[in-house]
Structure 1
């Protein structure tokens, strides 16, 4: 069971009313939009569990839309997310899925499309007290929180790729806090997720991409 302190119960600085349904939702979308190059053209949100049942009353829809536009949890523009999105020309949709069972009651799938036509799907969970977790990227199960600077490397599951990633990090004197490997199945698409206390330079992407098995690199800065 994840540890939750009294400060988590009180919740983060936020535009209310709920740390899990509002601040957590904003944080999920805020983190998700960092994983795709902008600007975004379209965002679709599929809500599950209690998110699906209460998203209008708790302002989860406004918070998700605000987060996807880069608004932090205490941004006073969140209540006006709908009108701001329309002014920006951002197409958005909310779908409540009350039939499919999920692992956590506060779960959302965020499907983003940027102006270049690239699409990325991220599943996130709001854990309470404003804490969040990303549990899927493009249908592959993953696990990270966005509390650290993060490199997400999409690659073919072949020998030597992980060693290549760590070598690139070592060359920049970057300390690894956590590193996890997730994959669809042996020899198929894999996601290496590296979390670090250090800032990750943008130049890291180019070096990691030099390995022919690497398909894409996403850097999530704090």
Structure 2
């Protein structure tokens, strides 16, 4: 038997993303989500997470989208005050990064929620240079992190045994979940990263990955799991 966690990233990005994730939880196979704490839909997502405690929810640590919560972390931002781009993360102060990511986690906790786990936007927590921060946060908050594919992060408790990152773009296939048993071993806990959403103007204007999320939502709400896969 394979234990399955279907984690919806980007909870909090926008209302359309929030409603898509909630719809995929109530009517589909999504059973986990991670929340961006610095976006236009964050306040709504916090309310939803409290209303639906059956959706295990963690924090989607952000370094490459929107604005930081703190104003004194200059190495994390461009001149306009927004976070740096994914391809321009040189010169990051680890102290500033840890303070900013701690602030994101603390905002989640301050809302009266207990995070289930941590991962990150654009997988930046898997970058080798940020490992000391990831290790420190995992220990400080007692939380596991998303694994890097099938590789655990050194010195950090893992959320699952394996994380599949290819239900994305061209990898969005209707038979994706019926074929999962071919890619995992019996007894493993497997996470699949997904991005369901209803498209709204914030998503269309802010993300190049937008309309594909509607296709994800449709499959996540129609998928039938084989008998050897169980939602955890």
TM-score (normalised: structure 2) = 0.24
More helix by share: 2
Q: Name the structure, 1 or 2, with higher relative contact order (CA <8 Å, separation 6+).
A: 2
More strand by share: 1
